[in-house]
Amino acid sequence: MNTMQAAVLYGPEDVRIEEMPIEEPGEGEVRVRIYAALTCGTDVKVYRRGYHARMIRPPALFGHEFAGVIEAIGPNVQGWQVGQRVVAANSAPCGRCLFCRRRQPELCRDLLFLNGAYAETILVPARIVATNLLPIPPHLDFSEAALVEPLACVVHGLERLFIRPGESVAVLGLGPIGLLFVRLCVLAGARVLAVGRREGRLALAKALGADKVFDLQAGEEVFQHLKSLTEEGLGADWVIEAVGTPQAWENAIALARPGGTVCLFGGCPAGSSIALDTHRIHYEEVTLTSAFHHTPSAVRQALALLSEGKIPTNLFLQHWAKLSQLPDVLARLANGTLDAVKVVVTPA
């Protein structure tokens, strides 16, 4: 039996590179030879925690952002060829449940997730082949194409908002997702006020077009300073929370102007709660919305944005590593000794 090297998650901070069997694709499936996989903030959280309630239970293959080349095709696969360059999203909806019928596929009750990007090959399930497998344009590198999944999440998040040119958007959190939000809000013509930590991330936000950046290391007065720079000092028209902590949620709500909208994008741990000023929500008509995951439409829009060169991918792809180095890379990302927006992991 042919084998491959792959990363297996066993528990908290326990990822091992092991020899695994290479499976033959079944009905509707394709096997992809991986050329690039990307680290993700969610992967680092899962690495620390040892599992993800919806996406991965150990022991399990790990990683979900990848691009590569089709090397084997199962029975009844139409429209794909061996040797074709492809990128796949990490999930696909069922197309049948209530939420799929209501055009909310991100809430599908049978959302199928795919893990195993940190490996030499990956078997893409039939449902993802049919729904969320896309050809890579010739001018895009594999590492650039692998940005499709996180960018699709951001595209989906912005579908909750209706930003007009000249309006103010405060983005809290400058991880990969927050930085992608900065870029797409700039492309929408907004005046972006970006809040984060680390000098390098603040510089990246400026390079992506943010009008002002605010360093959280300066303390709580940062939020008052930001608010003072909005129209009449009332707060931002739109606020996007991309941190995923209850405190960040509360800070985001406090930054919205009367009549403003807050997108609570970062996922907090199960059971979390926040203090909510009901007076503000009601009498100031502050709207709270949220967004989870992505949709097939958002995946396609994300690939189009990358293909059109609207995302400066060189600012995101900051570090390269071999698959054999992944356990060390994850450990360093988790303890903060490696500050890279995205690490490109290659099998060879």
pLDDT digits (tens, 9 = 90+) for 200-256: 999 999 999 999 999 998 888 999 999 999 999 999 999 999 999 999 999 999 999
Span 326-344, mean pLDDT?
A: 96
pLDDT digits (tens, 9 = 90+) for 142-189: 999 999 999 999 999 999 999 999 999 999 999 999 999 999 999 999
Q: What is the mean pLDDT of the chain?
A: 96
Tokens of 82: 């061996």
Q: 74-78, 195-199, 267-271: which has the minimum mean pLDDT?
A: 267-271
**Position 7 confidence tier, pLDDT thresholds 50, 70, 90:** very high
**Position 260 confidence tier, pLDDT thresholds 50, 70, 90:** very high
DSSP secondary structure of 312-326: -GGGTEEEEEEGGGH
Tokens of 296: 């097939």
pLDDT for position 198: 92
DSSP secondary structure of 121-166: EEEEPHHHHHHHEEEPPTTS-HHHHTTHHHHHHHHHHHTT----TT
Tokens of 156: 């989906």
Pairing of strands 60-61, 121-124: unpaired
Span 119-141, mean pLDDT?
A: 98
For 52-75, b/e burial (b = at least 16 CB within 10 A) is beebbebebbbbbbbbbbbbbbbe
User: What is the homologous superfamily of the domain 160-290 according to CATH?
Assistant: NAD(P)-binding Rossmann-like Domain (3.40.50.720)
pTM summary value: 0.96
Q: Please, where in the chain does CATH 3.90.180.10 lie?
A: 3-149+294-346
Report the alpha-carbon distance of residue 125 to residue 91 in Å, rounded. Answer: 9
**Position 348 confidence tier, pLDDT thresholds 50, 70, 90:** confident
Tokens of 108: 């599908």
Cα–chain center distance at 313: 14
Q: 76-80, 246-250, 268-272: which has the minimum mean pLDDT?
A: 268-272
Span 288-295, mean pLDDT?
A: 97
pLDDT for position 229: 97
- Domain 3-149+294-346 fold: Quinone Oxidoreductase; Chain A, domain 1 (3.90.180)
Report the alpha-carbon distance of residue 190 to residue 251 in Å, rounded. Answer: 20
Q: Please, where in the chain does CATH 3.40.50.720 lie?
A: 160-290
pLDDT digits (tens, 9 = 90+) for 96-117: 999 999 999 999 999 999 999 9
Does the pLDDT value for residue 270 go beyond 90?
no
pLDDT for position 89: 98
pLDDT for position 54: 79
Residue 58 exposure: Cα atoms within 13 Å on the Cβ side: 16
Q: What percent of the chain has pLDDT over 70?
A: 100
**Position 52 confidence tier, pLDDT thresholds 50, 70, 90:** confident
